[in-house]
Amino acid sequence: MTTRITAAARPLPAAEIAVPFADCDITAEAQAAVLRVLQSGWVTTGREVAAFETEFAAAVGAEFAVAVSSCTQGIELALRSLGLPPGSLVLSSTMTFCGAVQAIVHAGHQPVLVDVDPVTGMPTPATVRAAVQSFGRPAALTVVHWAGDVADVPALAEAAGVPLDHVVVDAAHALGTYAGDAPIGSGPGATCFSFYATKNLPLGEGGMITTDDAARADWLRGARLHGMTADAWRRYLPGGNWRYNVADAGLKANMTDIQASMGRAQLTHFPSWQRRRAEIAAQYDDRLAGLPGVGLPHRPAPGEGTHAWHLYPVRLRLHGGIDRDEVIAALSARAIGTSVHFIPVHRLAYFSQTALIPSAGLTGADALFDQLLSLPMYPRLTGQQLDAVCTAVTDIAHEGISGKGTE
């Protein structure tokens, strides 16, 4: 006899509170900044981008920041900046967004997928060494700070036999993450951030690469705009010269002044947004701790760093035959949005054929994937909305444990 969650089929009571999974807060200041740029006569890459780069670099403790069109393009450019031979092996967690692995492919290299610890959702030195033993030493390594948690970048680089300046950090989830006392974005190598609509600093689209290497930053600024030696802003400034050269194979991956003006305004709200995310995570912890069949997210141990709480991913191990998708349907019936981060890359058709996958499989990621559920997490989540989520999850967990609703 299989347990079914009866809430999935019942009509939504009018009094229930709708809780979307994500909420993109474009502040009044950001909206006003966009209008100012629209009225300025210059809307593409220019002074706003340059100012946003300076302010963002200061916020994460980096020497340089280069604004780009997306985190995905940032990862590709960061890999291209290494000048690796075509077809070089590049390690990537399989528990990441598909775009991060597409970036390796489009940079001209061979992705090698690495298994994860089911507790943290991230690779370990042991899983990295297993991939190296299967396919050989890689030329580079990408590291994702999954959900906003802290990955041990030096330990993973050492296990891969890769120098730190050949590590590309995927910090799409990690604006606000700290490794020890250092914000993610500082230090050697290149770190790539996302400003997608769901991220901790939402612009809708956009990305940033940070680095402490001046020569690398200069190369990235040219490569993000076709490899040209001078962008339009510099050419059209009073006294500028219309001439330019093309030094390298580049991309069309620049950020506009419209986006950058939003970013500068949004950045002033970022500290308070992060405090609110931490409050929400603590409230989830208090309400869901000890709930049968619901595992709380991993978080850094004291001294390891600070979680950015981009996501709040719980692990479901409910009894009675209830699976994750039934829980999603039951929560949806209560007007509560959820998501799953991520479908492991090796389960996606294209990468199952093109990426290198250890013959033993990626069992840690497979075990984790079937349990994952991301709950709503954003600064404008109200106390009533959070209460609605926790009440619903509690009801569903107890229904599964007690066997109510069995057929």
**Structure tokens, 14:** 């009018």
From the centroid of its chain, how far is CA 127? Answer: 21
**Structure tokens, 246:** 């093309």
Residue type, 132: V
Q: Please spell the DSSP secondary structure of 138-189, one letter per residue.
A: -SEEEEE-GGGPPP-HHHHHHHHT--GGGEEEE-TT-TT-EETTEEBTBSSS
Q: Which of 199, 216, 224, 298 is catalytic?
A: 199
- What DSSP character marks residue 346? G
Distances (CA, A) of 332 to 48, 292, 375: 41, 21, 12
Rg from Cα positions in the chain:
22
Q: For residues 146 and 93, what is the distance between their CA atoms, to the nearest angstrom?
A: 10
Are the C-beta atoms of residues 192 and 207 closer than 8 Å to each other? yes
Sign of CA dihedral 218, 220, 224, 225: positive
Which helix (H) or strand (E) element contains residue 134?
Answer: helix 125-135
Instruction: Based on the residue annotation, tell me whether 199 is a catalytic residue of this protein.
Output: yes
- Catalytic annotation, residues: 199
